[in-house]
Structure 1
Amino acid sequence: MTDISSTNIKEGSAEIVSGGNVFYNPVQEFNRDLSVSVLNVYFKKLQQERKAKGVSVIEEPQAGVKYENGMRILEALSATGLRSIRYAKEIAGVKEIVANDLSKPAVKSIEENVKYNEVEDLITPSHNDAMTLMYTSTAPEKRFDAIDLDPYGCPNRFLDGAIQSIADGGLLLVTATDMAVLAGNTPEACFAKYGTIPLRNKACHEMALRILLRTIEGHANRYGRYIEPLLCVSVDFYIRIFVRVYTGQNQCKYSMSKQSTVYQCTGCDTMTLHTLGILKPNPTEKNPNQVKFSIPTGPPVNTHCDHCGHKHHVGGPIWSAPIHNKPFVKDLLEHIHQNPKGTSKRLNGMLTVVSEELDDVPLYYAIDKLCCVVKLEIIPSLKFRSALLHAGFKVSYSHACKNSVKTNAPPSVLWDILRSWHKQFPVKAERMLEGSPVKNILSVEPKQIYNLVDIHPDANPESRRSALARFPENPTPHWGPGTRATIMIGEDKISKSIKNQNKHKKAKDVGDSPEAKLAKIELDNNK
């Protein structure tokens, strides 16, 4: 974190010069670059939709110019105002950006930075509680075309107001940094905040995305609204989602079929999804596309896992429909190529992986974890993917995990492939303990022979062949969310981290010193 009272900060087209106690967070540059690009592509899409309805549109909109029929954007938690200033200077077709913050020093910083960057006609600084501001903007004429929520931690308390104050078809941008909660470290806290039980597994980052989507959909359904995900990504220490919000009571009925509970084996981590609702075709003469909504029967698993014999944990519900709009992602990639940003290399890599992800397969497995369950030598990724492709299944990576395998093959096929691998590289006999997942899985003969020799031409995707920056390492030490992004009190994260390094070892060393031992003897004698 950097104190901008003594340092000028340049990012994109913006420059921050004022300060006080408001801090700039360079970690989030990728987040801001992505958001600028998404809003630009979204506005182009919005223009196309308005033009198709016969509504007047802006011909060749320019960034930095105010348009009366342009977008109204709310940055509800603005801090320095950097994001809003970048939106004003880099997004074409803006009418107004409301840069709001509850902190007086933050709002003062916003005002000074807005003036310095000469965007007073586009940005309206606001000193208000974010929820109050959104709840007083629910009238149709006051609603925003886009609302950006980038809080410190959980965004849940802002979602109800955001859903009510966003225009029909508007874009909601949400960040969540409480990954320990979303990833399953404290399921009780996740249930209290998000109404969902997370599961600890290698797919926890995608599950976090799907938990947040399910939560937003729940808020939307209360007001006869529903969401359409455009892009949902897990990045560094946070998740970031971009969804459009629509109004339609009938479409809300489909929400039940977009959500599922998750059964996870406690022994081998095999996951089975069970949808909350089923759609059955029910055509009529008036409506040949009519469907009937029904409740599924279940559960979809036995009391004990079919693969290893252990019991199951039950998590969810989570969003189980697609989390990306592939045509939108394609347009986004084209926009980034034409309008490079500071983090374009990483943007291109991540979005290319996203464009390759399977749409209809929620969650994923990690190859190293699968091999770890059965104590096998780790099978090379290309061999594992090739075996699935040769067997007629689809496979992709997930942007959320480097060693992931997302496939429409049932779990039995994954274990069968590892059984075939076991024949080439057998597990030591002493590891085949009675009742263990190792013995229960590997003692079964594979149902067919899988090709583990020939590399399938589609096993190595374009993102990997081109050596794109798909999963970059952290660029600096102490890479993380830091402390709260508005007013900082006391030590910053880095100095505190340095002070606390090896503190347990230091305490032990002090306790073992002759002085400490003598003091302990004297204390015992005085008792």
Structure 2
Amino acid sequence: MVVEKVVIEESARIIIPEKGVFYNPHMRFCRSLSVIAADAFATVRGKDLRICEPLTASGIRSIRYAKEVKHINSIISCDANRFAVKYAIRNVELNEVHDIVKVYKCDANLLMTSFSRRGQRFNYIDLDPFGTPSPFFDSAVRAVEHGGLICYTATDMANLCGVHPLSCFRTYSSYPIAKCGYVHEVAIRISLFSLASSAARHGLYIKPLLAHFTRHYIRVYSQLFYDESEAKKIFMENVGFLYHCFKCNNRRLSKFRNIEARTCSICGSKMTVAGPIWIGKIFDKEFLKAISKSMEKYSFSDQEKIVKTVKLISEEASGPPLYYNIPKMCKSLNVQMPKINALIEELRSYGFYACRTHFDPQGIRTTASTLDIIKILTSQR
């Protein structure tokens, strides 16, 4: 006998077995923000969404899209697990969204490939795998229409954050860096490099709209466009390497074709190199405005956290790549940790852009150089 339980998440009510069908209650925040992002994207484009969710499991994400986003044309969902498909179909019927959501038993890549012809493609693809999304990128970029959006979750943070560097290189074709103080942003940039590489192979380029790190995962939303000449140009301009000095925490980014010397300009130490990574923007200010506007339509149980996260991201969207972990810098300098808000105000008084970051409560994003920050921190001795 299969033991089942009923789960209520916002507007959705689903039935899942105790074993055999994956459902993570800690991803409620991610799903709620995804609903808001889908509403914002549909509003900005002025077009109903044709959504593909090729790793549906219990069907909760597709059901919430169908019930909570007004501008939906259709949703195609699938899972390779026949047990999961059985419950997903049952949950779709339970929530009375069977006219919008269609569930199939199918391999994720096979499903997306079957919709890769022009005129059949989706304008919104949501990849929410267990672990890495990279095995699905190639099929996803071929199944998305011009100007469409691919959003994905990655939970393989140990790989992306440098704990298992060879596994990361095998999965994303990028060598990570560990314990640099901003590993979660690097994780997003590694995943974006992988997506951009897959897109470029098919004559597409990416335009990241939103990215965030929460709990044990990263979540990224990126538009894709068909233009072979532009794809080559944007790829070369936005892909490069990260150089990090573990002695003084200095860092710099270089474009793919501009390989630089590994000597730190501050202390002369040998810098560690990571990459290739996406060195371009990971936030789009106009899309964040649309997100903020769409938030007003909802009152989710995680609404306060969503509002706080989007506010922080909106503030840091104008800043440069790579934030600073202040406790790590203070430890290397052997100085007392200042109050974050006081440090931000001091940086601003010198004319630098400075703000908090959603990645790290003890981190700041600023246009000040590493040397400028070192001077301010050491002057407080």
**TM tier, smaller:** over 0.9
Amino acid aligned to 2:358: H
CA contact (8 A) 1:5 1:17 kept: no
- Aligned 1:356-505 pairs, distance under 5 A: 356-422=315-381
Counterpart-to-counterpart distance in 2, 1:246 and 1:13: 33
Select the residue among 6, 9, 25 that pairs with 2:4.
6
Indicate whether 1:256 and 2:236 are aligned: yes
CA contact (8 A) 1:264 1:270 kept: yes
- Aligned 1:15-94 pairs, distance under 5 A: 15-19=13-17, 21-47=20-46, 70-94=48-72
Corresponding residue SS for 2:119? helix
Q: Give how far 1:18 is off.
A: 4.9
Amino acid aligned to 2:244: Q
Q: Are the structure 2 counterparts of residues 74 and 302 from structure 1 closer, same or farther at C-alpha, using a change threshold of 3 Å?
A: closer
Amino acid aligned to 2:208: P
Counterpart-to-counterpart distance in 2, 1:16 and 1:5: 14
Q: Give how far 1:140 is off.
A: 1.2
Q: Give how far 1:360 is off.
A: 4.6
Q: Give how far 1:206 is off.
A: 0.6
CA contact (8 A) 1:358 1:395 kept: no
Indicate whether 1:142 and 2:101 are aligned: no
Q: Are the structure 2 counterparts of residues 23 and 272 from structure 1 closer, same or farther at C-alpha, using a change threshold of 3 Å?
A: closer
Counterpart-to-counterpart distance in 2, 1:315 and 1:128: 37
Counterpart of 1:124 in structure 2 is: 102
Q: Give how far 1:24 is off.
A: 2.4
Counterpart of 1:352 in structure 2 is: 311
Indicate whether 1:313 and 2:311 are aligned: no
Counterpart of 1:227 in structure 2 is: 206
CA contact (8 A) 1:322 1:359 kept: no
Indicate whether 1:213 and 2:189 are aligned: no
Select the residue among 229, 238, 246 that pairs with 1:266.
246
Corresponding residue SS for 1:322? coil
Could you tell me which runs of 5 or more consecutive residues in structure 2 were left unpaired when the two chains were aligned.
none
Between Structure 1 and Structure 2, the one with more strand by share is 2
Counterpart of 1:112 in structure 2 is: 90
Corresponding residue SS for 1:371? helix
Amino acid aligned to 1:373: S
Q: Are the structure 2 counterparts of residues 143 and 336 from structure 1 closer, same or farther at C-alpha, using a change threshold of 3 Å?
A: same
Counterpart-to-counterpart distance in 2, 1:5 and 1:325: 45
Q: Give how far 1:359 is off.
A: 3.1
Q: Are the structure 2 counterparts of residues 384 and 266 from structure 1 closer, same or farther at C-alpha, using a change threshold of 3 Å?
A: same
Q: Are the structure 2 counterparts of residues 157 and 118 from structure 1 closer, same or farther at C-alpha, using a change threshold of 3 Å?
A: same
CA contact (8 A) 1:365 1:405 kept: yes
Amino acid aligned to 1:352: K
Q: Give how far 1:358 is off.
A: 4.4
CA contact (8 A) 1:206 1:400 kept: yes
Select the residue among 286, 292, 295 that pairs with 1:336.
295
Counterpart-to-counterpart distance in 2, 1:75 and 1:178: 20
CA contact (8 A) 2:130 2:155 kept: yes
Over the matched positions of the two proteins, sequence identity in percent amounts to: 34
CA contact (8 A) 2:348 2:354 kept: yes
Q: What is the RMSD of the two structures over their aligned residues, measured on CA atoms?
A: 1.6
Counterpart-to-counterpart distance in 2, 1:383 and 1:328: 30
Corresponding residue SS for 1:7? strand
Counterpart-to-counterpart distance in 1, 2:337 and 2:319: 27
When normalised by structure 1's length, the TM-score is 0.69
Select the residue among 172, 184, 190 that pairs with 2:168.
190
Counterpart of 1:445 in structure 2 is: none
Corresponding residue SS for 2:87? helix
Q: Give how far 1:326 is off.
A: 1.0
Counterpart-to-counterpart distance in 1, 2:170 and 2:341: 41
Q: Are the structure 2 counterparts of residues 302 and 23 from structure 1 closer, same or farther at C-alpha, using a change threshold of 3 Å?
A: closer
Corresponding residue SS for 1:382? helix
Counterpart-to-counterpart distance in 2, 1:238 and 1:165: 24
Counterpart-to-counterpart distance in 2, 1:381 and 1:73: 41
Counterpart of 1:496 in structure 2 is: none
Corresponding residue SS for 2:380? helix
Select the residue among 271, 278, 281 that pairs with 1:322.
281
Counterpart-to-counterpart distance in 2, 1:99 and 1:191: 30
CA contact (8 A) 2:243 2:262 kept: no
CA contact (8 A) 2:285 2:317 kept: no
Larger radius of gyration: 1
Corresponding residue SS for 2:318? coil
Amino acid aligned to 1:45: V
Amino acid aligned to 1:134: M
When normalised by structure 2's length, the TM-score is 0.95
Counterpart-to-counterpart distance in 1, 2:98 and 2:109: 24
Q: What's the CA shift string for 1:140-165, capped at 9, x where partnerless? A: 12211111100000111111000001
Q: Are the structure 2 counterparts of residues 358 and 103 from structure 1 closer, same or farther at C-alpha, using a change threshold of 3 Å?
A: closer
Counterpart of 1:503 in structure 2 is: none
Counterpart-to-counterpart distance in 2, 1:24 and 1:79: 7
CA contact (8 A) 1:97 1:122 kept: yes
Counterpart-to-counterpart distance in 1, 2:225 and 2:83: 36
CA contact (8 A) 1:102 1:128 kept: yes
Corresponding residue SS for 2:129? coil
Could you tell me which runs of 5 or more consecutive residues in structure 1 were left unpaired when the two chains were aligned.
48-56, 58-69, 277-294, 423-527
